[in-house]
Amino acid sequence: MYFSHRIPATWGLCVLLLASSCGKNENKQQQQQQAGKDQPKEYPVVVVARHDTELYTDYPATLQGQQNVEIRPKIDGYVEKILVDEGALVRKGQLLFRIQAPQYEQEVRTAEASIKIAEAEVNAAQMQVNKVKPLVQKDIISHYELESAEYTLQSKQAALAQAKATLANARVNLGYTSVTSPVDGVIGLLPYKLGSLVSSNTTQPLTTVSNIGNVYAYFSLNEKQLLDLFRDVKGNTLQQKLATLPNVRLVLADRSVYSRTGRVETASGLISTETGSASFRATFPNPDGFLRSGSTGAVRVSSHLKDALIIPQKATYELQGKRLVYLVGADNKLKSTEVKVTPTTDGQSFIVQSGLKDGDKIVVEGIAGVRDGAEIKPAVVQADSVRKIDDN
């Protein structure tokens, strides 16, 4: 009886001890989990520093060939042949069109016949002079007869010269029926078709030939842009400043950058009172004919900046039209801070104009997971290492 009562009591004590032990373990785990939650999470941050960098500005531009020559007929007639197609490369002197104008062929034949008549009359007048001259020398006839014959000869010779000039003019007009290219270049639009009536007074040219060995990019700057561009450029005159400007780039319509650099060569001396801007012209080499006259793009002008505050673009975010960063305070708490920035040439960084100073720390990774006032554990990383991660 003694042992039967003692055994249940012993088992009850064991159960109580086991339950107490499990409770303590659960409390310890909860405390550890709560401590993990309360501990600040680690975030990569960068220290704002000054660097030398390139800043660029794009100005909308239109492209024109070095020469844009309008091909116009110099005579009236019908388009008989079109020997080129739109966009074709042509050489100087190459035949482009034939114009049917039979009247000029008739004028040539008429002028040739007039020359033959005039030559016959000159020969007859010369014979008369030769006939009269010995008779005058023998005093058989008066000297007046010789002078009259010589004047007649001179008149016939003048008529012959006039006939030859008429023939030359007729041949020139006939030559105008063959229209050739005055320069090397690319054929533009062909508004006229076979059989079209054209004349020297037609509004539209037969076509345009663009010499695109070099291409001109025309762009404009307003007064503020003009001052910003030339403020730190050496030179006393506009031409001297243009000569010291760095080479410029051409951004094409698809936002790709043309492989060859150009130079800004000319500028208008006045700011237009109508547009408030000054016109500039940049020249780009185009040996392979890739650029075409009439295209659009943008001239990219770069400037070198020293000791500029640079931050990664990915360290910023936009909210209600403002550009913001998370600034790490001395207590490692975050403060949402507005910054004024300008993009750099590499497309990965911003130049800080206001809102930050040298030595400030900002969050560069995981900004979508933090909030204003949150405490973090900052892990300082180099801006270059962040860029390498992005590139990979």
Largest CA-CA distance found in the chain, in angstroms, rounded: 197
Q: Which residue has the tokens 């041949």?
A: 171
Q: How confident is the model at residue 276 (pLDDT cuts 50, 70, 90)?
A: confident
CATH code of residue 332: 2.40.420.20
Q: Is the pLDDT reported for residue 349 higher than 90?
A: no
Residue 55: partners with Cβ closer than 8 Å, 6 or more residues away: 302, 303, 304, 305, 308, 342, 344, 345, 351
Residue 15 lies in a domain: no
Q: Are residues 375 and 345 in the same domain?
A: yes
Q: How confident is the model at residue 392 (pLDDT cuts 50, 70, 90)?
A: very low
pLDDT at 142 (0 to 100) = 82
Q: How many domains does the chain have?
A: 4
Contact 250, 298 (CB under 8 A): yes
d(C-alpha 333, C-alpha 378), whole Å: 10
Contact 72, 223 (CB under 8 A): no
Each residue's pLDDT tens digit, 211-236:
888 999 999 988 888 887 777 778 77
Given 272, 304, 336, which residue is the final one in a domain? 304
Minimum mean pLDDT range among 105-119, 132-146, 248-262: 132-146
Q: Is the pLDDT reported for residue 360 higher than 90?
A: yes
Q: State the angle between helix axes of 143-175 and 102-137 in degrees (0 to 180), rounded to the nearest 10.
A: 160
Residues of the domain holding 150: 102-175
Q: How confident is the model at residue 33 (pLDDT cuts 50, 70, 90)?
A: low
Name the average pLDDT for the chain: 84
Given 255, 270, 304, which residue is the final one in a domain? 304
Q: How confident is the model at residue 383 (pLDDT cuts 50, 70, 90)?
A: low
Q: Are residues 198 and 78 in the same domain?
A: yes
Q: Is the pLDDT reported for residue 138 higher than 90?
A: no
Residue 11 lies in a domain: no
Among candidate residues 180, 195, 189, 190, the one with its CA nearest the CA of residue 79: 195
Q: Is the pLDDT reported for residue 31 higher than 80?
A: no
DSSP secondary structure string, 149-160?
HHHHHHHHHHHH
Given 262, 277, 304, which residue is the final one in a domain? 304
Top-confidence range, 51-65, 219-233, 263-277: 51-65
The encoded tokens of residue 141 equal 């006839």
Residue 239 lies in a domain: yes
pLDDT at 384 (0 to 100) = 60
Q: Is the pLDDT reported for residue 1 higher than 50?
A: no
**Mean pLDDT value of segment 64-91:** 92
pTM beyond 0.75, yes or no: no
Q: How confident is the model at residue 59 (pLDDT cuts 50, 70, 90)?
A: very high
Q: Are residues 386 and 315 in the same domain?
A: yes
Among candidate residues 4, 23, 58, 33, the one with its CA nearest the CA of residue 301: 58
- One-letter amino acid at 140 equals I
Q: Are residues 294 and 315 in the same domain?
A: no
SS3 state at 75:
coil
d(C-alpha 147, C-alpha 132), whole Å: 9
- Report the percentage of the chain scoring pLDDT > 70: 86
Q: How confident is the model at residue 388 (pLDDT cuts 50, 70, 90)?
A: very low
Q: Is the pLDDT reported for residue 245 higher than 70?
A: yes
Among candidate residues 325, 307, 308, the one with its CA nearest the CA of residue 316: 325
CATH code of residue 115: 1.10.287.470
